[in-house]
Amino acid sequence: MRKVGKMLPLVMKMLIRKPATVMYPSVKPEMPEHFRGKLEFDASKCIGCKMCIRDCPSGALEIEKIGEKQFKAIVYLDRCIYCGQCTDSCPKKALKCTKCFELANYTRENLKVDI
């Protein structure tokens, strides 16, 4: 165990040092280039092949046909594990991961997102 006299220089050194943490949420962190956050769906690119649904390990996606060659995606954010497998398997790149990570909600119904 260190004595008080030996710890004093270390304590003084730590008082003038810049903190190692970020003051979140007042300072928003910068996400890296290939961060896998909330999914984004581009309906104009979707061909309805449903490869994303087949490759999703958690069953977090549904693709519904809403018209002739028109589709919409339903994403269950409470099921999604943000692995990015659906974005990799989409042949037309209709799905992509965004940098949005603040997805907390009070009810489970709010985590079902129609895109």
* Count of domains for the chain: 1
pLDDT value of position 14: 84
- Assign 1 a pLDDT band (cuts: 50, 70, 90): low
48: in domain? yes
92: in domain? yes
pLDDT digits (tens, 9 = 90+) for 79-90: 899 998 999 998
Q: Which domain holds residue 41?
A: 31-114
45: in domain? yes
64: in domain? yes
- What CATH number does the domain containing 56 carry? 3.30.70.3270
Burial letters for 11-39: b for 16+ Cβ neighbours within 10 Å, e otherwise? eeeeeeeeeeeeeeeeeeeeeeeeebebb
46: in domain? yes
16: in domain? no
pLDDT digits (tens, 9 = 90+) for 41-79: 888 898 888 899 999 999 889 888 888 888 888 999 888
101: in domain? yes
pLDDT digits (tens, 9 = 90+) for 18-47: 878 888 888 888 888 889 988 888 888 988
pLDDT value of position 2: 55
Tell me which of 3-7, 95-99, 101-105 is least confident. Answer: 3-7
12: in domain? no
Tokens of 16: 């003038």
- Assign 3 a pLDDT band (cuts: 50, 70, 90): low
